[in-house]
Amino acid sequence: MSVKAAVPPDVWVSRGPLATIRVTFSRIITFCLVELQKLSHDRTELFTRAIQPILWLGIFGTTFSRVRAIPTGDVSYLAFMSPGVIAQSGMFVAIFYGIQIIWERDAGILAKLLVTPTPRVALAAGKAFAAGIRSVAIALVVIAFALIIRVDLTLNPLKWLAACGVVMLGSAFFCCLSLCIAGLVLHRDRLMGIGQAITMPLFFASNALYPIEMMPSWVQVLARVNPMSYEVSMLRGLLLGQPTNYLADLTVLIVAGVVGIAVASSLMGRLSR
């Protein structure tokens, strides 16, 4: 007597585009909630991660504000660099997020996630925006410190909310960059070395500390293709009221994030081998 094979659930058989989008957003929300729980259980990491950007503002920023060597228009240098330091704090968190997924691979967690019906793009997007949540939390600490030292930032809560969204988008891209590197090097030590090698070039080859026009021509080319420059420009527009092309900045961040998620998800299988 033959036994009829069990019919797999619909989710395993086929998945339309709307279902994929729905599952992707569901996983993003889940990963973000998990990240919030981690932050609530370990608040010390939040403040230790904020020490470096606070030192950038408190020492580097106040010193160069007195030197007045960098033209910043009608705002102080400390105010000019504050959005750049906020973006930097998010990038420094997200760029090492690939270490976590390598740890999950070694612990067998990633393999279990990959055999579920969840699309790999949902896993990559969930990880990216979870890194964005952590980056936003640290960025809020940096913004609070900037207000304490009397940096003239806007107090409009809607602009603060928009700035958090910008930080999340920028951090999502840098997290995907980290996931891509993790998918290529496959080892935590190598990823740590590469991450340390690219963080400062990404930071300095942007408009975070000085206007792009002051850079050498070859650095200007790098700055104009660096998503961090567009993140900083948008943050300056929101927090300082400086003129910027919001549509262009937002478009670059969204496109960079989508491309990053697509590439990172394509390398997920390599991590599970």
pLDDT tens for 222-258 read 999 999 999 999 999 999 988 899 999 999 999 999 9
Query: Does residue 263 lie within any of the structural domains?
Result: yes
pLDDT at 4 over 70: no
- Reported as a pLDDT band with limits 50, 70 and 90, residue 186 is confident
Query: Does residue 1 lie within any of the structural domains?
Result: no
Q: What are phi and psi of 116, to 5 degrees?
A: -80, 165
How far is residue 134's CA from residue 142's CA, in Å, rounded to a whole number? Answer: 13
Predicted local distance difference test score (pLDDT) of residue 83: 93
Q: What percent of the chain has pLDDT over 70?
A: 90
Query: Does residue 117 lie within any of the structural domains?
Result: yes
- Mean predicted confidence (pLDDT) in 3-13: 44
- Reported as a pLDDT band with limits 50, 70 and 90, residue 182 is confident
Provide the 3-class DSSP secondary structure of residue 273: coil
Residue-wise pLDDT for 201-213, tens only, equals 899 999 998 899 8
- Mean predicted confidence (pLDDT) in 177-189: 85
How far is residue 107's CA from residue 104's CA, in Å, rounded to a whole number? Answer: 5
Query: Does residue 149 lie within any of the structural domains?
Result: yes
In sequence order, the 6+-apart residues with CB closer than 8 A to the CB of 219 are 205
Query: Does residue 39 lie within any of the structural domains?
Result: yes
Predicted local distance difference test score (pLDDT) of residue 196: 81
The closest alpha carbon to 25, from 218, 253, 267, 261, belongs to 261
Predicted local distance difference test score (pLDDT) of residue 12: 42
How far is residue 176's CA from residue 172's CA, in Å, rounded to a whole number? Answer: 6
Predicted local distance difference test score (pLDDT) of residue 15: 56
Domain count, the chain: 1
- Reported as a pLDDT band with limits 50, 70 and 90, residue 36 is confident
Query: Does residue 73 lie within any of the structural domains?
Result: yes
The closest alpha carbon to 93, from 153, 145, 35, 41, belongs to 35
Query: Does residue 10 lie within any of the structural domains?
Result: no
Residue 43 or 192, more confident = 192
Residue 246 or 118, more confident = 246
Predicted local distance difference test score (pLDDT) of residue 164: 92
Domain residue limits at 176? 19-271
Predicted local distance difference test score (pLDDT) of residue 229: 94
Predicted local distance difference test score (pLDDT) of residue 273: 65
- Reported as a pLDDT band with limits 50, 70 and 90, residue 5 is very low
Residue-wise pLDDT for 61-107, tens only, equals 888 888 777 888 788 888 899 999 999 988 988 888 778 888 877 77
- Mean predicted confidence (pLDDT) in 20-36: 74
